[in-house]
């Protein structure tokens, strides 16, 4: 029987394929090129298949010889491929380990400068602006009594306003303060009016963490008590402060309710096309003054409480309150 391609030619082709494949595999630099080589050799339309396709022209006695040879070759190539892949894996791991070695004896290249936390600078800026208006700074403890945090601020024990400010109770009438408003009471106990103070500090609420809530956050309390103060003084002070802080953003006062002020308002600024609440305020409720032994016919005043995180978020365009507390240097180094 006459063949198109002889047995010798076929075996020669297989020998050639083996030699070339071995050198290609050995030269492969990464697993991608190795995979290409594998498909090119052993894939359905690979070189081995093509050579085997030519077997049809061999005689029935010759075919098994080539078949056997091809099987051995295939096994051999598979072995070479998997050896090479193991070798490349080892090599890249060794290179990575070398690259990531930490030389603990190396000399430092310079001490990086720390940055101030944006909540600190924002607090200071708020406080500074009020100091410019003649206010001084007062402080109070973060562990408060139920009396100062609630009762003295006209929030008796069964008052629904307590539910809005659920906190962490420490036992024995002590709790983590829910706002900086108790500093009003502490300060007025020790200092007769006229008073003008700002009280910055940390406050606590039993809130679940999300983009706008944190169980720990910061407030600045504002308090002015004098003879003859009325709502226009409150409004003028708030507008002067907000303009100094934000520039010329639109501002609006909305009637609201706080137990310790009457009337009360919430103040919104227009930011990115929507109204955003930035503070609560109002005229100090006569009941609060009376509780302190001050005559409400003589003394009047206003108070405000503002959330530092809110101010900082608006100023810097920060979208998520959690960024303040996660100590991510990529965030902190921007300020």
CA triplet 284, 187, 172: central angle to 5 degrees?
A: 100
x/- contact string, 193-232, with ligand DAH (CB under 6 A)? Answer: ----------------------------x-----------
* Surface-to-core class of residue 89, CB atoms within 10 Å of its CB (0-12 exposed, 13-18 middle, 19+ buried): exposed
The closest alpha carbon to 250, from 233, 272, 279, belongs to 272
182 binds ligand DAH (CB under 6 A): no
Distance from C-alpha of 150 to C-alpha of 161, rounded to nearest angstrom? 9
Classify the C-alpha dihedral 282-287-289-294 as positive or negative.
Answer: positive
Comparison of 179 and 323: residue with beta carbon closer to ligand DAH:
179
What's the longest Cα–Cα distance across the chain? Answer: 128
The phi, psi pair for 9, rounded to 5°, reads -60, -45
Q: How far is the CB of 134 from ligand DAH (least distance, A)?
A: 18
301 binds ligand DAH (CB under 6 A): no
One residue of 281, 289, 313, 314 binding ligand DAH per CB under 6 A: 281
305 binds ligand DAH (CB under 6 A): yes
One residue of 58, 304, 313, 321 binding ligand DAH per CB under 6 A: 304
Is the preceding peptide bond at 174 cis, omega within 30 degrees of 0?
Answer: no
261 binds ligand DAH (CB under 6 A): yes
123 binds ligand DAH (CB under 6 A): no
267 binds ligand DAH (CB under 6 A): no
Q: How far is the CB of 264 from ligand DAH (least distance, A)?
A: 6
Distance from C-alpha of 8 to C-alpha of 14, rounded to nearest angstrom? 10
Comparison of 24 and 262: residue with beta carbon closer to ligand DAH:
262
Residue with the closest Cβ to ligand DAH? 305
Classify the C-alpha dihedral 191-219-207-324 as positive or negative.
Answer: negative
282 binds ligand DAH (CB under 6 A): yes
By CB under 6 A, name the binding residues for ligand DAH: 179, 181, 221, 258, 261, 280-282, 303-305
């Amino acid at each position: 029987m006459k063949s198109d391609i002889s047995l010798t030619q076929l075996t020669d082709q297989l020998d050639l394929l083996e030699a070339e494949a071995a050198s290609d595999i050995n030269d492969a630099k990464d697993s991608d090129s190795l995979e290409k080589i594998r498909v090119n050799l052993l894939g359905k339309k690979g070189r081995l298949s093509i050579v085997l396709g030519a077997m049809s022209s061999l005689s029935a006695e010759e075919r098994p010889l080539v078949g056997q040879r091809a099987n051995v070759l295939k096994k051999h190539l598979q072995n070479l491929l998997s050896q090479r892949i193991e070798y490349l894996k080892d090599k890249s791991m060794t290179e990575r380990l070398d690259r990531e070695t930490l030389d603990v004896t190396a000399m430092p290249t310079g001490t990086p400068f720390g940055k101030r936390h944006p909540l600190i600078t924002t607090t200071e800026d708020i406080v500074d602006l009020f100091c410019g208006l003649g206010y001084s700074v007062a402080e109070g403890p973060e562990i408060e009594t139920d009396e100062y945090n609630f009762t003295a601020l006209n929030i008796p024990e069964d008052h629904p306003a307590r539910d809005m400010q659920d906190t962490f109770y420490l036992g024995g009438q002590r709790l983590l303060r829910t706002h900086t408003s108790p500093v009003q009471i502490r300060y007025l106990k020790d200092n007769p009016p006229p008073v003008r103070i700002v009280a910055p500090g940390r406050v606590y609420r039993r809130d679940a963490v999300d983009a706008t809530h944190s169980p720990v956050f910061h407030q600045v309390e504002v308090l002015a008590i004098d003879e003859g103060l009325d709502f226009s003084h409150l409004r003028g002070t708030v507008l002067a402060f907000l303009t100094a802080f934000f520039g010329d953003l639109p501002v609006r006062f909305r009637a609201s309710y706080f137990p310790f002020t009457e009337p009360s308002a919430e103040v919104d600024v227009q930011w990115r096309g929507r109204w955003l609440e930035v503070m609560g305020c109002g005229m100090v409720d006569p009941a609060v003054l009376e509780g302190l032994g001050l005559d409400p016919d003589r003394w009047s005043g206003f108070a405000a409480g503002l959330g530092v995180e809110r101010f900082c978020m608006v100023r810097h365009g920060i979208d998520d309150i959690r960024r303040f507390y996660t100590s991510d240097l990529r965030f902190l180094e921007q300020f």
